[in-house]
Structure 1
Amino acid sequence: MSARHFINDPTLLVNSALESLTLTNPSVALDAENKIVYKRPSHGPSKVSIISGGGSGHEPSFGAFVGDGLLSAAVAGTIFASPSAEQIRRAITSRVDTNKGVLVTVMNYTGDVLNFGMAVEKAKADGLNVEMVIVGDDVGVGRERGGKVGRRGIAGTVLVHKIAGALAAQGRSLEEVYKVAKLTAANLVSVGASLDHVHVPGRAVGSNAAESLQEGEVEIGMGIHNEAGSGRKKVNLPELVGTMLSQLLDQNDKDRAFLNVNSNEIVLVVNNLGGVSVLELGGITTEVVKQLKSSWGIQPVRILSGTYMTSLNGLGFSISLLNVVNTDIGGPSMIQLLDYPCEATGWSAPIQKTTWEEKNTATRENGAGPDHSIKQSGLKANGASFNDALASGLRAIIAAEPEVTRYDTVVGDGDCGIGLKRGAEAVLSHLKEKPATGDVVVDLARIVTIVENAMDGTSGALFAIFLNALVHSLRTLAPGEASPQIWAAALKQSCDALSRYTPARPGDRTLIDALYPFVEVLGKTGDLKKAAEASKQAAEDTKGMKPSLGRAVYVGGTGFEQVPDPGAWGLASFFLGLAGIKSDDDSWETI
């Protein structure tokens, strides 16, 4: 692992690299504050916009894929870290054309999915037409180890971008672009391998010898952030390629048989993880193509070999296979879309002479900020009653903080209670300054912004996604009176939205265990107190429940047998307060 760099300041490195994209492609601009690379506006007809992004360190993904015929914008985080939901929201709402809709693509990593998902739901709550595709193409970690999290997204993702971008450039609808992007993602498999881990500029060199690979040893299935794969082995290149192709294609490997390659047309991508010489990558590509034909009878119709998605200067490569299938949209095939011209420096297509000579200096004006005016919905409730009930629930969270903190100290890192209290106090302060108006969509939308700013971590992202989805759902049910039935229907839709971004379900020992029973009972009975009591019982039932997700999975021990899930307990406390039920020590009683 090389720890020597020309630029050792990671902030300077990312910012200057993003700036370089505007120097090498005059059709793109940079929102430096939010790390958004985007296409400069033109006078052409509106088309579907495509947005992607993720942590920096994977260049040329994603910023260098912004250009005509490919991405409309890309949002960058710090090295190997997801961009924030606010960065992504600004990209969606203010840096691309939204007239024909927006497709957001994201690789399957928890932080990326949650932050991009939060931004998508917020955009939907604002009335924009947005769809999201999550790409998980890696087979390096099989079904058993991947569990509910599923497959990681790696280099095959660039084919989703290229095909969807070409279709959007041809003026097709968001429904069609979304369908073909999902179809492409569903027909992709990839796997990587590396001779060493990489060093992130600005970080201390690790002293853990177990992280380093021995001379001649290869990490098979290594991810693009130094994550472990299926194992380490001393192999030569032919043996390594043979193992990787088996993981991609062997239908007898039930742990990894994610795709039955049954098409006469296969696209191959051999991707440089950043540190392999062009000469050596050529030799690797030849070996892959030879073995595909001799061992599997596959002759790819397109072979892409180059640097598409890196792991900084990772000394490795990945292999991706796309099973070309019929798009069923009465238009271009996947191969035609792959061949379609584009102007993006990360793709092997030159910038056209006319683009340079146009000297386009236009920029897209920054859109509405987080405190923008929110449209009235006509969904009404008594403002004073809304204020009082919500304040009661928030005070219940604050009162429960010591309990939640104690539980989280046993099974987590001890910050759950403080995070919930911080969010509750921020919303209470907001309600004092800006009491409810009586339009529940407006009132809730204002609160969502407070939650997003006051709460961080996974819980904060989950709450923000859920509340943004709730705003969107309530708006679709307006106008009228915000009855218990309306709230229950909107809450059910919000649960469905949240389920698209997290695999957590009842029984996994998370705050979901307290949420779903509340929604279900409210929908059946219309009785807030019964719903709150059901939530409390479900939270109590998490005591002894083995965790499937969250930090508790890694903590180990038997603490989960002694205390309920902290997040579920905190949420149940809120619902009880909302319903006018209070706690005296460990016993609950109706006021």
Structure 2
Amino acid sequence: MSAAHFLTDPTHLVATALHACTLTNPSLALDAANKTVYRRPSSTPSTPTVSVISGGGSGHEPSFASFVGRGLLAAAVAGTIFASPSAEQVRRCISRRVESEQGVLVVVMNYTGDVLNFGMAVEKANAAGVRVEMVVVGDDVGVGRKVGGKVGRRGIAGTVLVQKIAGALAAQGAGLEEVYQAAKLVAGNLVSIGASLSHVHVPGRSVAEAGEEDLKEGEVEIGMGIHNEPGSERRAETLPELVKTMLAHMLDAEDEDRSFLQIPEGEETVLLVNNLGGVSPLELGGIVNEVVEQLAKDWKIRPVRILSGTYMTSLNGLGFSISLLKIRDTGLGNGKSMLELLDAPTEATGWSAAVSPETWNANSTATRGEDDGDSDDFQPSNLRLDPVLAKKVVTSALEKVIAAEPDVTNYDTIVGDGDCGIGLKRGAEAILKMLERAKKTDDAALFLHNIIQVVETSMDGTSGAIYAIFLNALAHGLRVQSPSSPAPVDVQIWSKALESSLEALNKYTPARPGDRTLIDALYPFVGTLSKTGDIKSSAQAAEAGAKGTRGMRASLGRTVYVGGEGWQGVPDPGAHGLAELLIGLSEGFD
């Protein structure tokens, strides 16, 4: 691991690297405040197309900012190094920086932060009336089914093939559903694996802070993730031995833990050999040669396209990854096969394609409009509630959460990192302040909207994202039930909206009852309310669900990694906090 860098301030590093994208490609602009690179609007009239956007933590360049360009991405949203961008950054990208008339496709890699934060933005955009679909790419076979569990495969370099094909199809004028289905088809026919001789060092951190045990001389880590995540094994292997192991993990049909894709002899494939950042072009050429020879000799696979270069890095990672895409029929006709779309021209500089002279000569200075300071274009609904009662009920729930903070914090100290109770309390206190300041409204959707804005800005971490996704989907569930003329919002409307919210949340987290999460309290509440229409019995069901997490082995979250004793005697902190909130909600009706 090398700790030497020319730029040691990570904030300055990310900001200047993003700005550099606009210097090397004049068709791009930068929303610096939201770390978003996007295509400038055309100076001549053009037919609107589907916008494909992506993003993730910085440190994987040229992914994703340098893949913005005509024929590929419409925009890319960057987080700090190895950290997901916030949902608000993504929401502003969707609403302000790209064409949305024909819809938007979001492509993200399968990492919890990316899925939750991009997912929250997708739900918010859908609630505002923008058609948005999301494809989550998990192509890494480095960690098998047993270890991956419900989280599934991580996303690595094969993701760029999904982006390229979807972007090319969108540029040809295909509709959102066609682009979405094509992206899913590509993602479902991908396998990838990486290997590295060393962990990487993040600029701005001391070596001690990196906290990684570096590999020994001559040792290679097979399956290492793009954020320094551990792989499946460490070995001292020569390149031919290493490639043999990697291809076996990708292609051995008898490996039940890793056999995600069958590629029979004679199938057309695309091979991508990707530099993780620190391998010389000379050495990468030798690696490509070894991979191609072994594919032909041992697996009878002769790729019809071979891509080699730097597509998705792990900073200056001394490693490489191999990706294989099985070509499938898109069913979309001439000019729209996977290969034709992969070969289609693009001006994205990260795809090693030259920008056209016409674009350079245009010297465009156009940008999209700046935000007016209002983060949402809220549309009123015809669902009416009693504002005095609503405030009383919500206040009761929030005060219950605040009072429960010591217990939640204690439980989370035992099974997690101890911040769950503080996070819930901070959000509850912020909502209470908003309720005191906000103008009274009898619009149920607006009342909920005001709460959502506070949750999104005051609650962070995984629980904050989950609450925000659920509440945004709840707002959408209310809006689709809004009648043509004003009418009271009743328990049946709330129940139906809650059911749709649960369905939306299920798209972004694999958590289900029995996984020891707040879902163990949420599911019983929604299910009981839908059946009985009774808030008190529903809150009691949530409380019973939370208590039932005592002694339950976790399938998701940090509790999975907690060793030793102690967790068996406490409930899941998130489930307990939610149950307290719902009990307080029911008591507010007394």
Pick the TM interval, shorter chain: over 0.9
Task: Give me the whole-angstrom Cα distance separating, in 2, the residues matched to 1:265 and 1:563.
Answer: 53
Q: Say whether the 8 Å CA contact 2:274–2:310 is kept in structure 1.
A: yes
Show CA shifts across 1:442-495 (max 9, x none).
111111010111111111111011111111111111124321111111111111
Task: Give me the whole-angstrom Cα distance separating, in 2, the residues matched to 1:487 and 1:151.
Answer: 35
Partner of 1:586: none
- Are positions 1:233 and 2:240 aligned together? no
Partner of 1:560: 567
- Are positions 1:286 and 2:293 aligned together? no
Task: Give me the whole-angstrom Cα distance separating, in 2, the residues matched to 1:78 and 1:411.
Answer: 27
Question: Matches of residues 19-58 of structure 1 in structure 2 within 5 Å?
Answer: 19-42=19-42, 43-58=45-60
Cα shift at 1:130: 0.5
Q: Say whether the 8 Å CA contact 1:58–1:310 is kept in structure 2.
A: yes
Task: Give me the whole-angstrom Cα distance separating, in 2, the residues matched to 1:67 and 1:208.
Answer: 34
Cα shift at 1:538: 1.0
Seen in structure 2, the aligned counterparts of structure 1 residues 564 and 508 have a Cα distance that, compared at 3 Å, is same
Cα shift at 1:202: 1.2
Seen in structure 2, the aligned counterparts of structure 1 residues 572 and 436 have a Cα distance that, compared at 3 Å, is farther
Partner of 1:136: 138
Q: Secondary structure at the match of 1:336?
A: helix
1:484 to 477, 485, 491: 491
Partner of 2:360: 356
Question: Matches of residues 261-340 of structure 1 in structure 2 within 5 Å?
Answer: 261-262=263-264, 264-331=267-334, 332-340=336-344
- Are positions 1:468 and 2:475 aligned together? no
Cα shift at 1:369: 4.4
- Are positions 1:425 and 2:425 aligned together? no
- Are positions 1:224 and 2:231 aligned together? no
With 167-176 and 223-232 compared, the bigger mean Cα shift is at 223-232
Q: Secondary structure at the match of 1:148?
A: helix
Seen in structure 2, the aligned counterparts of structure 1 residues 289 and 517 have a Cα distance that, compared at 3 Å, is same
Task: Give me the whole-angstrom Cα distance separating, in 1, the residues matched to 2:210 and 2:83.
Answer: 22
Task: Give me the whole-angstrom Cα distance separating, in 2, the residues matched to 1:210 and 1:92.
Answer: 37
Partner of 1:510: 517
Q: Secondary structure at the match of 1:308?
A: coil
Cα shift at 1:215: 1.2
1:214 to 213, 216, 236: 216
- Are positions 1:501 and 2:512 aligned together? no
Task: Give me the whole-angstrom Cα distance separating, in 1, the residues matched to 2:390 and 2:464.
Answer: 22
Seen in structure 2, the aligned counterparts of structure 1 residues 497 and 207 have a Cα distance that, compared at 3 Å, is closer
Cα shift at 1:547: 1.5
- Are positions 1:440 and 2:447 aligned together? no
Partner of 2:397: 393
Cα shift at 1:264: 2.0
- Are positions 1:571 and 2:578 aligned together? yes
Q: Say whether the 8 Å CA contact 2:128–2:377 is kept in structure 1.
A: no
Q: Say whether the 8 Å CA contact 1:93–1:367 is kept in structure 2.
A: no
The letter of the residue matching 1:265 is E
1:76 to 64, 75, 78: 78
Cα shift at 1:347: 0.5
Partner of 2:16: 16
- Are positions 1:155 and 2:157 aligned together? yes
Task: Give me the whole-angstrom Cα distance separating, in 2, the residues matched to 1:27 and 1:110.
Answer: 32
Show CA shifts across 1:90-118 (max 9, x none).
11110000100000111011111111111
Q: Secondary structure at the match of 1:574?
A: helix
Task: Give me the whole-angstrom Cα distance separating, in 2, the residues matched to 1:558 and 1:97.
Answer: 53
Task: Give me the whole-angstrom Cα distance separating, in 1, the residues matched to 2:373 and 2:298.
Answer: 56
Task: Give me the whole-angstrom Cα distance separating, in 2, the residues matched to 1:150 and 1:271.
Answer: 22
Q: Say whether the 8 Å CA contact 1:276–1:315 is kept in structure 2.
A: yes
Task: Give me the whole-angstrom Cα distance separating, in 1, the residues matched to 2:63 and 2:372.
Answer: 27
Cα shift at 1:213: 1.0
- Are positions 1:92 and 2:99 aligned together? no
Q: Say whether the 8 Å CA contact 1:70–1:164 is kept in structure 2.
A: yes
Partner of 1:379: 383
Q: Say whether the 8 Å CA contact 2:199–2:212 is kept in structure 1.
A: no
Partner of 1:116: 118
The letter of the residue matching 2:12 is L
Q: Secondary structure at the match of 1:303?
A: strand
Task: Give me the whole-angstrom Cα distance separating, in 2, the residues matched to 1:564 and 1:31.
Answer: 43
Cα shift at 1:368: 5.5
Task: Give me the whole-angstrom Cα distance separating, in 2, the residues matched to 1:71 and 1:208.
Answer: 32
With 302-311 and 540-549 compared, the bigger mean Cα shift is at 540-549
Q: Say whether the 8 Å CA contact 1:249–1:260 is kept in structure 2.
A: yes
The letter of the residue matching 1:443 is F
Task: Give me the whole-angstrom Cα distance separating, in 2, the residues matched to 1:294 and 1:466.
Answer: 51
Cα shift at 1:297: 0.4
Show CA shifts across 1:314-371 (max 9, x none).
1110000001101123451000100111101000211001111111110001245454
Partner of 1:522: 529
Seen in structure 2, the aligned counterparts of structure 1 residues 50 and 373 have a Cα distance that, compared at 3 Å, is closer
Cα shift at 1:435: 4.7
Show CA shifts across 1:23-79 (max 9, x none).
110000011111100000013110000110011110000000000000000011111
Cα shift at 1:247: 0.6
The letter of the residue matching 2:507 is R
The letter of the residue matching 1:477 is Q
Partner of 1:584: none
Task: Give me the whole-angstrom Cα distance separating, in 1, the residues matched to 2:169 and 2:210.
Answer: 47
Seen in structure 2, the aligned counterparts of structure 1 residues 159 and 369 have a Cα distance that, compared at 3 Å, is farther
Task: Give me the whole-angstrom Cα distance separating, in 2, the residues matched to 1:544 and 1:532.
Answer: 22
Q: Secondary structure at the match of 1:211?
A: coil
Show CA shifts across 1:287-337 (max 9, x none).
111110010001100000111000111111000000110112345100010
Question: Matches of residues 141-220 of structure 1 in structure 2 within 5 Å?
Answer: 141-206=143-208, 211-220=213-222
With 393-402 and 29-38 compared, the bigger mean Cα shift is at 393-402
The letter of the residue matching 2:350 is G
Task: Give me the whole-angstrom Cα distance separating, in 2, the residues matched to 1:326 and 1:537.
Answer: 50
Partner of 1:451: 455
The letter of the residue matching 1:526 is G
Task: Give me the whole-angstrom Cα distance separating, in 2, the residues matched to 1:324 and 1:481.
Answer: 53
2:63 to 53, 61, 64: 61
Q: Say whether the 8 Å CA contact 1:387–1:436 is kept in structure 2.
A: no
Q: Say whether the 8 Å CA contact 2:521–2:545 is kept in structure 1.
A: yes
Task: Give me the whole-angstrom Cα distance separating, in 2, the residues matched to 1:149 and 1:505.
Answer: 12
Task: Give me the whole-angstrom Cα distance separating, in 2, the residues matched to 1:276 and 1:551.
Answer: 34
The letter of the residue matching 2:365 is T
Q: Say whether the 8 Å CA contact 2:202–2:210 is kept in structure 1.
A: no
Seen in structure 2, the aligned counterparts of structure 1 residues 129 and 273 have a Cα distance that, compared at 3 Å, is same
Q: Say whether the 8 Å CA contact 1:511–1:571 is kept in structure 2.
A: yes
The letter of the residue matching 2:195 is A
Partner of 1:2: 2
The letter of the residue matching 2:584 is G
Q: Structure 2: any 5+ residue segments left out of the alignment? A: none
Cα shift at 1:156: 0.2
Show CA shifts across 1:118-140 (max 9, x none).
11111111111111110000000
Cα shift at 1:19: 0.9
Percent identical among aligned pairs is 64
Root mean square deviation of aligned Cα: 1.5
Aligned residues: 583
Cα shift at 1:210: 6.6
Q: Say whether the 8 Å CA contact 1:249–1:259 is kept in structure 2.
A: yes
